[in-house]
Amino acid sequence: MASAFATIALLLSLNLVFFTTVSSDHHVPRPPTPPKTPKSPSPSPPKASCPKDTLKLGVCGDLLNNLLQPVLGTLPKTPCCSLIVGLADVDAAVCLCTAIKANVLGINLNVLVSLNLLLNYCGKSVPKDFQCT
């Protein structure tokens, strides 16, 4: 009977050693993650262009004439201002600049003065450092 107890004790000891070894908290090191490469700078935005038909902006010529030669009463903001109402200031400036330089408005004036007058009257402003080229 002593040999039976010795065998059971030996088996229990081996089980304890086995389970302790298997269930030990052994961490396998992870491979190092490669460093993130910096993203290349995004390309410069495309040059602004007028999303409207420049010829349609010819209607702004009458408004500009009335702004330069004041008349009694309130000047109509349509159809000129309604053409640029949904545009950002820079897009509106590009559109009107293109129309003025192409002489679609039928007026030969200082481009910056004309641009400022039209944009201000239509509730827009000339963006800082904007150049009508």
Query: In degrees rounded to 5, what are phi and psi of residue 25?
Result: -85, 80
Contacts of 115 (CB under 8 A, 6+ apart): 93, 96, 97, 100, 126, 132
What is the Cα–Cα distance from 31 to 119, expressed in whole angstroms? 61
Indicate the pTM of the whole model: 0.57
Q: What share of the chain in percent tops pLDDT 70?
A: 65
**pLDDT, tens digit, for every residue of 3-27?**
776 677 665 565 555 556 655 556 6
Task: Per-residue pLDDT tens, the chain, 133 aa: give them.
Answer: 667 766 776 655 655 555 566 555 566 677 788 777 766 665 554 455 676 787 888 888 878 877 777 666 667 777 888 888 889 999 999 888 888 888 776 766 678 888 888 899 899 999 988 888 7
The tokens for 126 are 């000339």
